[in-house]
A and B are shown apart, each in its own frame.
Chain A
Amino acid sequence: MTDDDLRAALTAADPARSTDLDPLTSPRARELLERAMTSDLGTTPSTSPHVEPPRSRRPWLAAAAAAVVLTGAGGAWLAYGSDPADQPSGEQLVLGVPDGDPAIMSCLPVSAEVLAGLPLAFAGTVSSVDAAEVRLDVTRWYRGGPESTVVLRNADERLQALLGTPDFQVGQDYLVSASDGSISVCGLTGPASPELQAAYDEAFGGG
């Protein structure tokens, strides 16, 4: 089967091949476009990804920094405090634990596809754990960076309550991903098991 044959077979299986779409001139399209254009340019919706432009890693730094600067602006995802000491330096990035009621949380299987949508990911070794803070020495940035240390704030009882979030142990290696200033849970962040490592490699390895 040639590449063309394969592409044709896939095209035949395209679920949107004959889907009726709203034209750009439809009332719904106009409403959505107007809503976007009248939205506040200074904030980021909770569903906004920090998508990296092709082949450039610097904008991620800006995105991560912006997320921290926005602390206190009311974003439910920004779980860290507004203490100036929380601001990231060139060497330290601060992340929080996502808001959310553990009783109604749910998870899909961990997959490279889900991981690949996350703007921050790194491998690190836990250097300290105290009542409300976990520090990790970064050993490899998959996406984002280049801070050498990541501090996870609010990692106390809520971390335990968020099912699927790992219990951090000093000296252990972890794979950590994050979006909107909060680490991802549901098994997407966890001890560096071969399975999770394979998922990270697939999602961020670039080949």
Chain B
Amino acid sequence: MEDRSQRFEALAAEVWEPLQRYLRRRCPVDVAEDVLADVLLVLWRRLDDAPAGAELPWSYAVARGCLANARRGAERRLSLLQRVRRERLPEPAVPDDRVSAALARLRPADAEVLRLWAWEGLEPRDLATVLDCSAGAAASRLSRARTALREQLRQDEGSAGHRTSREGEGAPR
């Protein structure tokens, strides 16, 4: 058990900050705190499954699963009225409106692969670990997602070019 604790501490030293960021990027702070506790429990219990050399992407995969479970739990706690309204969980605030707005319009799977690539800094081999697919499939999903984002940004530029704004009206839209 001593050895296990040491191995867990070593894993925690590597993944603690990246996991906090991962969760802060995807859910409100209070939810992130709860999910982080769950992730640590799973990491402790599944320590022997951690793939050598890919501990961080594997931990992201665990966090991804915990977050999905937390979302489902949140769904269950919401009221029937909210069920009818089919509200989404709030998106975290992001500082760059143009890019984040374009990201939000992508298919969720495309947006997530881009977040993992840009925010978590994962390349296809590690993306594959998180997304549970082959490295080739991850590369092709990333390529497709980049193309989709470029297209969104291009459309935005096109519509911004046609939009007129007059002084005194405030921000467009």
The reply to whether B41 and A39 contact each other, CB–CB distance below 8 Å, is: yes
Closest Cβ–Cβ distance, residue A8 to chain B (whole Å): 8
Q: Contact residue range for chain A?
A: 35 or more
Cβ-Cβ contact count across A and B, 8 Å cutoff: 208
Given contacts A10-B119, A105-B75, A109-B88, contact A54 B44 (CB under 8 A): no
Contact residues, B1-54 vs A (CB, 8 A)? 5, 8-9, 12-13, 16-17, 20-22, 24-25, 35-38, 40-46, 49, 51, 54
Contact residues, B108-155 vs A (CB, 8 A)? 108-109, 112, 114-115, 117-119, 128-129, 131-134, 136-137, 140-141, 146, 149-150, 153
A37 to B4, CA, bound (A): 9
Given contacts A1-B153, A112-B108, A202-B109, contact A47 B45 (CB under 8 A): no
A184 to B76, CA, bound (A): 12
Chain A interface, DSSP helix/strand/loop, else mixed: loop
* Residue tally, chain B, CB below 8 Å to A: 82
The reply to whether B140 and A15 contact each other, CB–CB distance below 8 Å, is: no
Using CB atoms and an 8 Å cutoff, list the residues of chain A in contact with chain B.
1, 3, 6-7, 9-17, 19, 21-24, 29, 32-33, 35-37, 39, 41, 44-55, 59, 100, 103-109, 111-114, 116-119, 143, 163, 179, 184, 186, 202-203, 206-207
Jot down 27 A-B pairs with beta carbons below 8 A, ordered by A.
A6-B150, A9-B96, A9-B153, A10-B114, A10-B119, A14-B94, A16-B119, A21-B17, A21-B21, A21-B24, A23-B17, A33-B40, A47-B69, A48-B45, A49-B68, A49-B69, A51-B62, A52-B132, A54-B132, A103-B80, A106-B75, A106-B76, A106-B82, A107-B75, A116-B109, A186-B72, A207-B134
